[in-house]
Amino acid sequence: MHSLLPLPLFHVWAYLQTQPLLGLTATLCAWELSTLIDRAAGHKPASNPILLSIIMLAALLLLTGTPYRAYFTGAQYVHFLLGPATVALAVPMYANLPAIKRNFFAIAVSLCAGSITAAASAMLIARALGAPKLVVISLGPKSVTTPIAMGISQDLGGSPSLTAVFVLITGMFGTLICTGVFRLTRVKDWRAQGLAAGTAAHGMATSHMLMLNQTAGAFGGLAIGLNGVVTSFVVPLLVQIFGF
């Protein structure tokens, strides 16, 4: 890239690489463009704006030879908001409290079972196929919403960015297969479908369920928050039990 630019432009480019402006603007531009494409494509799982934005920006970094650290100088301002956004999940959870109380036992049992199943099977399969510790631990929290998953991964010595990628793959795959899985296992109850979608494939599958049924969407939202908390306990325990 450097050799392609005339000298004054090269200086501008070099200057911008040290500033937050470019990375932040590029992130927002990629997001706007991705949401337009997603809308035009009719909200398909494959046109998910999160995935599209990541592909665009990753391609941009690779093509221009920009180090991720230079990009993150700007993107960190968006990234920082994940913390308060995680705390903000308490608000929709509070709104669903009556529904939680009514079905508390069923929700607690199914969610814990699903959470343990998803995390343990992912980690055990990866280890059996020879993946190193870093990859195995980074896979543990992949069913949880990204900010929580990244926090768990970081605390256990995994790679938060690897976890972020796994969370995305899980979300897309879960969105693609959930309707088929429910048909195969004869799960017809909307509450059960929503809870399963939110537990196994976080917000991406939940937003898909929300388009099919309001109740399913509410139980999905509930599962995202609850599974975040449950998985925060489950994955460290699994790491200890199986010695990952």
Interface with other proteins in residues 9-28 (CB under 8 A): 27-28
In contact, 24 and 78? CB cutoff 8 Å: yes
Q: Among the residues of 81-189, which ranges form H helices?
A: 82-88, 90-95, 97-102, 104-128, 133-139, 146-155, 160-184
Nearest to other proteins of 11, 157 (CB atom): 157
Whole-number Å distance between alpha carbons of 192 and 174: 15
**What residues from 105 to 164 belong to the interface with other proteins (CB under 8 A)?**
105-107, 109-111, 113-115, 117-119, 121-123, 125-126, 129-132, 134-135, 139, 142-143, 145-148, 150-152, 154-156, 159-162, 164
In contact, 46 and 93? CB cutoff 8 Å: no
In Å, what is the CA distance from 209 to each residue of 36, 75, 142, 182, 238?
21, 30, 19, 12, 29
Total residues interacting with other proteins, rule: CB under 8 A: 112
Whole-number Å distance between alpha carbons of 217 and 213: 6
Q: Is 206 in the site for other proteins (CB under 8 A)?
A: no
Among 16, 33, 37, 78, binds other proteins (CB under 8 A): 78
**What residues from 43 to 72 belong to the interface with other proteins (CB under 8 A)?**
49-50, 53-54, 57-58, 61-62, 68, 71-72
Q: Is 220 in the site for other proteins (CB under 8 A)?
A: no
Minimum distance from residue 41 beta carbon to other proteins (Å): 15
Minimum distance from residue 198 beta carbon to other proteins (Å): 9
